[in-house]
Structure 1
Amino acid sequence: MTRHLVAAIVLTAIGTVAIAKTPVATGTGGAVATISEQASQSALAILDKGGNAIDAAIAAAATLGVTDPFSCGIGGGGFMVVYLAREQRVVTIDHRETAPAAFSPATFLDNGKEMDFDTVVASGQSVGVPGTVRGWDEALRRYGTMSFKQVLAPAIDVAAKGFTVNANFSRLVDENADKFRRFPATAALYLKDGMAPPPGTLLKNPGLASTYRALAQGGVKAFYEGPVARAIVDAVNRPATAPGVSVRGGKLTLADLANYEARIRQPVRSTYRGYELYGMPLPSSGGVTVLVALNLLEGWDLKALPRAQAEHLYLEASRLAFADRNAYLADPEYVDAPVAGLLSKEYAAQRRKLIDAGRAATGPVVAGDPYPFQQDASVPQRPAPTARLRQESAHTTHLTVSDKAGNVVSYTFTIESWGGSGIVVPGHGFLLNNEMTDFEFSGPGPNVPEAGKRPRSSMAPTIALKDGKPAFTIGSPGGATIITTVLQTIVNHVDFGMRMDQAIDAPRLSQRNGPTTDIEPGFDEAAQADALVRLGQRWASEPEEIGAANALVFNPDGTVTAVSEGHRHGVGSALVQKKGH
């Protein structure tokens, strides 16, 4: 049985058939929440055929690579958090992009000076070794029940038959048209007479359909070896550009692709108000930073405080957590980050004393010293904190799926900026990432580029357990604002008692240890904002939409509620299985 709790209903289209799209749904079987109706339908189709949550998550992700190609796809990478019901444990799959072997800390320096950021983005130099396909393969082989051929079938169908472009898709193309015009393969796929396709256009991607078919037949090797791999290397090293356009090439090799490995990592874990929270470990800073902030907030009974007072504490806890994130966190295979110390409740008690409940900090705060709380007899070297933080792209996607057996997936993946590097691999229909710009362009610091290194991420797919069973999932795109979106949604849901749809739809505030806090349009005019200003909070001058979250809530009566955005990013898509599946 399915019922729709309506936060908003819009019409979307699969092919040319318009159907209702709702961001909230409750039922008794498996469930899915994504930002795309086609992706949610793909996941549901796999669940209905007997696939588990892992199978369905990859089906949804592959479809998102067709319908939302500017934020994700097989040219990028991501992080998957999985709850395995039978074993009652949480595992994570790190398939973050890696730096090619030719990289060094000086890669983004020209005569000792940092290269122009935007110039690097739209070039082969920004492309990391894609990890998505390897991650999907690891997930299916270890924890899935289906083959590539089965889980890719829905996405192949959407790519081959086409989907109807909506206003959000058209807007994203328009905003990136200059970048796309530089590369003929990209322009041919996503531009119509040099302009964004208008809403209502039927868009097909035969190149991506062909690539997915190659994966369905040949498995993971069809991507990392052979014709597809050679096409990727050529596209990175010698980007085909429009007449008169010149961009930097990269130094990617076939060996870089063939040697790429996903990592199965232990999740980071902490407790909060009776919940066990599991998140993504390094090289994603998201899980650690969310948990550091929650440890700080645990010292106050937020639900008993006036709303503005509680939100002030949330912003100040986030500020402190980001100070530590920026100073210490990076790829754990290159940096000995003091994660145990950072997640220590005793460390949180010490850092909490720096928060003034009546007044905001006047600017960035310094990182703390977690090493006394490490309980590490080797006394690792304390790195020099970074002096500043490079802006992080806000363009990613998150999805979440559960199945009737109780398995749960919380999955965030990306190609970095909207449209990544802007380079579509000719003949293969997918955009390549610009993930290498997530490194700091110069040091010293833990997140400088190095050969084989994974750039630090903010992705924070999260699964919460209560009494040993799944309680909810949450995750979002948004660059560094992912961390604050996940953190604020947890506070809204757990502390303020909001239903998850209310927690997601509430106005978002993002403080990342900067002089001002990012807000969404219209918030600065609200009474809530005035109360925070009186506590010393200051707003960024240009409000913008923050995040596009998706969540699942496992209800006490045994039902599950899937929740997507009610108004952001064109409204999301939540679906549940009907009774009998």
Structure 2
Amino acid sequence: MTRLLRASLLLVLLAGTAVHAKTPVARGTGGAAATISEQATQSAITILDQGGNAIDAAVAAAATLGVTDPFSCGIGGGGFMVVYLAKDQRVITIDHREMAPAATTPTFFIEDGKEMDFDTAVASGLSIGVPGTVRGWDEALRRYGTMSLGQVLAPAIKVADEGFTVDANFSNLVERNERKFTRFPATASLYLRNGKAIPAGTRLRNPDLARTYRLLARDGADAFYEGPLARAIIDTVNQPPTAPGVSVRGSRMTLADLANYEARLRLPVHSTYRGYDLYGMSLPSSGGVTVFEALNLLEGYDLASLPRTQVEHLYLEASRLAFADRDAYLADPEFVDAPVAGLLSKDYAAQRRSLIDASRAASGPVTAGDPYPFQQDPSQPLRPSPRALQAESAHTTHLTVSDKHGNVVAYTFTIEDWGGSGMVVPSYGFLLNNELTDFDFTPPHPNIPEPGKRPRSSMAPTIALKDGKPSFSIGSPGGSTIITTVLQTIVNYVDLGMPMDQAIDAPRLSQRNGEVTDIEPGFADSAQAKALAHLGQRWSDQAEEIGAANALVFNADGTVTAVSEGHRHGVGSAQVQQPAQHEIR
């Protein structure tokens, strides 16, 4: 073998290593993908390499996440997909959020005149909304994809059949859910061993889920909403199969609830920020509206000229004000006429901005503003009364994919709590959501349970354009901290000038109109925290990891940089089809 041939083969091997080695940052050309799972990111790249587009690849990645990240997402849940279509130069969104069954009432979670205990509600049939994920995937592929559902499910079927090695993060998540999972034999047999979490290093297969995916590949999305699988879902929801001596509440979901479920194509919510056109998910997700309202508040400051402490103080106060409005007004648009135009008005932002003290944090929760004068609607609805932020589980997943044609997908989907309701559908291998606990339990409120209603979400998949072309995408899991994660990352990237990987890895602060700000472990004793404390900012006593973001950046030289978490959630995975030469190690 000649020296030149040996060198060429070495370059090929090294390039292959760069493509397949797990890394949170990758730069190159062609398509790109970033998820929290190495297998999911690889599934997306596999579909792109087979000629699929970004929509095909996003569904492939999502299906694989249902195997490798089942406690955050899967076909038992729902989500929101934001898509930039390069050929049409427009952004579309697909709402496949879970829906309340027809038997739902506004007092669904009220017992003896009191709100049901939140954890009790979660691990019950009452919490389970009609799943929308499969219908959403089908809608996306039929309208905008180039491959069939069967083709894009193939990589996930392989992972479910062959299994994957459980890491410490996966095992820890199971351990946190041992009590919930032991209630349901189908869940315990999959994720527990002798009542304890499967240890790191275990090879985990899910042949039941592989069979379910094969059923969908063969018979299409209707096989989820009609027939034996639909009956199995209904039986699980209404008469939860529990361990001996365990009893949990069932619900009243019907086969008609499943058969009647529809995904919704909605107009994206749009705003501008410092030369960017931002597109996000509209209601029933509150994410886009709340992030963009906060950015409108911040746009009145020259943040790039300010010290980081001052920028972060203003970010926290803007988030506080935006959350006050979010909690008061936003809900499913098919049930509530929310004042979105007023909330996103630049003039309204100027009025609300006057409430921010640049030298001192607010002493506690602030009241909602009055966006109605900034609407074109002259009606004057009843103003809401202040109330505490409703509990919202922080466990979801986000992925983002692009292709060589310039299409971009930002996709956030979920089953809500870690492990959702805790119920695996017997013989089908997937967990069911607890999404109905995203409703406010006590009426009156825009976000109370009602038949056919979709609970308000915080998911905020976002695509930014500059000069009419994609500039970056961003999104994250994290319940209501999704909003602050996306907001803070945009501020870090646009205003503080951080590269996207640093913008994502920076310590996260989440102020959601509360007495204190949620923080991550190790932050409270940092110089950064002490400087903010001098401005009156106060920290939660319980520090927890916030979010697991993924992003794409479209560079001026035509390359794309895929970015995932550098340290959270066990480190994320980013890949490009053709790595840049200097990326090869």
Q: TM-score range by the shorter chain?
A: over 0.9
In structure 1, the gaps of 5 or more residues are: 1-17
What SS is found at the alignment partner of 2:21?
Answer: strand
1:104 match: 105
User: What code does the residue aligned with 2:517 have?
Assistant: T
2:538 match: 538
Matches within 5 A, 1:210-221: 210-221=211-222
1:336–1:380 contact (8 Å) kept in structure 2:
no
* Displacement after TM superposition at 1:272 (Å): 0.3
User: What code does the residue aligned with 1:543 have?
Assistant: A
Matched, 1:471 2:484: no
2:324–2:366 contact (8 Å) kept in structure 1:
yes
Deviations 1:43-82 (A, max 9, x none): 0000000000000000000000000000000000000000
Deviations 1:4-52 (A, max 9, x none): xxxxxxxxxxxxxx96310000011100000000000000000000000
* Displacement after TM superposition at 1:111 (Å): 2.1
What SS is found at the alignment partner of 1:522?
Answer: coil
2:190–2:206 contact (8 Å) kept in structure 1:
yes
Deviations 1:393-415 (A, max 9, x none): 00000000000000000000000
2:16 match: none
1:81–1:90 contact (8 Å) kept in structure 2:
yes
1:8 match: none
2:27–2:579 contact (8 Å) kept in structure 1:
no
User: What code does the residue aligned with 1:128 have?
Assistant: G
User: What code does the residue aligned with 2:285 have?
Assistant: S
1:438–1:457 contact (8 Å) kept in structure 2:
yes
Matched, 1:115 2:112: no
1:307 match: 308
* Displacement after TM superposition at 1:577 (Å): 0.2
1:457 match: 457
* Displacement after TM superposition at 1:490 (Å): 0.1
Give the Cα–Cα distance (whole angstroms) in 1 for the partners of residues 117 and 336 of structure 2. 26
* Displacement after TM superposition at 1:303 (Å): 1.2
1:325 match: 326
**Which segments of structure 1 move beyond 6 Å, counting only runs of 4 or more?**
none
Matches within 5 A, 1:169-180: 169-180=170-181
1:35–1:548 contact (8 Å) kept in structure 2:
yes
* Displacement after TM superposition at 1:385 (Å): 3.6
What SS is found at the alignment partner of 1:28?
Answer: strand
Deviations 1:171-202 (A, max 9, x none): 00011011000000000111112111111111
1:386–1:445 contact (8 Å) kept in structure 2:
no
1:284–1:460 contact (8 Å) kept in structure 2:
yes
What SS is found at the alignment partner of 2:290?
Answer: helix
What SS is found at the alignment partner of 1:524?
Answer: coil
Deviations 1:448-505 (A, max 9, x none): 0000000000000000000000000000000000000000000000000000000000
2:104–2:450 contact (8 Å) kept in structure 1:
yes
Is the alpha carbon distance of 1:383 and 1:104 closer, same or farther for their aligned partners in structure 2, counting shifts above 3 Å?
Answer: farther
Matched, 1:182 2:169: no
Give the Cα–Cα distance (whole angstroms) in 1 for the partners of residues 140 and 68 of structure 2. 22
Matches within 5 A, 1:24-63: 24-63=25-64
1:362–1:515 contact (8 Å) kept in structure 2:
yes
What SS is found at the alignment partner of 2:196?
Answer: coil
Deviations 1:317-366 (A, max 9, x none): 00000000000000000000000000000000000000000000000000
Give the Cα–Cα distance (whole angstroms) in 2 for the partners of residues 528 and 115 of structure 1. 40
2:150 match: 149
* Displacement after TM superposition at 1:380 (Å): 5.5
Give the Cα–Cα distance (whole angstroms) in 2 for the partners of residues 133 and 385 of structure 1. 38
Percent identity at matched positions?
78
Deviations 1:206-251 (A, max 9, x none): 1100000000000011100001000000000011100110000011
Give the Cα–Cα distance (whole angstroms) in 2 for the partners of residues 538 and 380 of structure 1. 36
2:26–2:579 contact (8 Å) kept in structure 1:
no
1:21 match: 22
Is the alpha carbon distance of 1:579 and 1:173 closer, same or farther for their aligned partners in structure 2, counting shifts above 3 Å?
Answer: closer
1:444 match: 444
Give the Cα–Cα distance (whole angstroms) in 1 for the partners of residues 520 and 166 of structure 2. 26
2:79–2:97 contact (8 Å) kept in structure 1:
yes
2:258 match: 257
Give the Cα–Cα distance (whole angstroms) in 2 for the partners of residues 27 and 78 of structure 1. 29
What SS is found at the alignment partner of 1:409?
Answer: strand
1:384–1:444 contact (8 Å) kept in structure 2:
no
Give the Cα–Cα distance (whole angstroms) in 2 for the partners of residues 122 and 368 of structure 1. 36
2:20–2:42 contact (8 Å) kept in structure 1:
no
Deviations 1:420-475 (A, max 9, x none): 00000000000000000000111111100000000000000000000000000000
Give the Cα–Cα distance (whole angstroms) in 2 for the partners of residues 183 and 473 of structure 1. 38
Give the Cα–Cα distance (whole angstroms) in 1 for the partners of residues 541 and 526 of structure 2. 15
Give the Cα–Cα distance (whole angstroms) in 2 for the partners of residues 506 and 547 of structure 1. 12
Give the Cα–Cα distance (whole angstroms) in 2 for the partners of residues 135 and 364 of structure 1. 37
Deviations 1:242-286 (A, max 9, x none): 011000001110000000011000000000000000000000000
What SS is found at the alignment partner of 1:90?
Answer: strand
Give the Cα–Cα distance (whole angstroms) in 1 for the partners of residues 504 and 529 of structure 2. 18
Matched, 1:289 2:293: no
* Displacement after TM superposition at 1:382 (Å): 3.2
Give the Cα–Cα distance (whole angstroms) in 1 for the partners of residues 569 and 306 of structure 2. 32
Give the Cα–Cα distance (whole angstroms) in 2 for the partners of residues 386 and 232 of structure 1. 38
Is the alpha carbon distance of 1:380 and 1:406 closer, same or farther for their aligned partners in structure 2, counting shifts above 3 Å?
Answer: farther
Give the Cα–Cα distance (whole angstroms) in 2 for the partners of residues 564 and 19 of structure 1. 15
Matches within 5 A, 1:358-437: 358-377=359-378, 379=379, 381-437=381-437
Give the Cα–Cα distance (whole angstroms) in 1 for the partners of residues 214 and 383 of structure 2. 47
Give the Cα–Cα distance (whole angstroms) in 1 for the partners of residues 226 and 359 of structure 2. 59
1:383–1:446 contact (8 Å) kept in structure 2:
no
User: What code does the residue aligned with 1:332 have?
Assistant: P
User: What code does the residue aligned with 1:411 have?
Assistant: Y
What SS is found at the alignment partner of 2:244?
Answer: coil
TM-score between both structures, scaled by the size of structure 1: 0.96
1:555 match: 555
What SS is found at the alignment partner of 1:523?
Answer: coil
* Displacement after TM superposition at 1:375 (Å): 1.1
Deviations 1:84-112 (A, max 9, x none): 00000000000000000000101111122
2:368–2:386 contact (8 Å) kept in structure 1:
no
2:238 match: 237
1:137 match: 138
What SS is found at the alignment partner of 2:270?
Answer: strand
1:472–1:553 contact (8 Å) kept in structure 2:
yes
Let me know the Cα RMSD of the aligned residues: 1.1
User: What code does the residue aligned with 1:575 have?
Assistant: Q
User: What code does the residue aligned with 2:44 have?
Assistant: A
Deviates more, 1:56-65 or 1:435-444: 435-444
2:125–2:240 contact (8 Å) kept in structure 1:
yes
Give the Cα–Cα distance (whole angstroms) in 1 for the partners of residues 501 and 448 of structure 2. 38
1:328–1:385 contact (8 Å) kept in structure 2:
no
User: What code does the residue aligned with 2:53 have?
Assistant: N
* Displacement after TM superposition at 1:383 (Å): 4.6
Give the Cα–Cα distance (whole angstroms) in 1 for the partners of residues 103 and 391 of structure 2. 24
Matches within 5 A, 1:62-73: 62-73=63-74
* Displacement after TM superposition at 1:314 (Å): 0.2
TM-score between both structures, scaled by the size of structure 2: 0.95
2:15 match: none
2:500 match: 500
1:91 match: 92
1:334 match: 335
Give the Cα–Cα distance (whole angstroms) in 2 for the partners of residues 528 and 230 of structure 1. 54
Is the alpha carbon distance of 1:549 and 1:285 closer, same or farther for their aligned partners in structure 2, counting shifts above 3 Å?
Answer: same
2:399–2:550 contact (8 Å) kept in structure 1:
yes
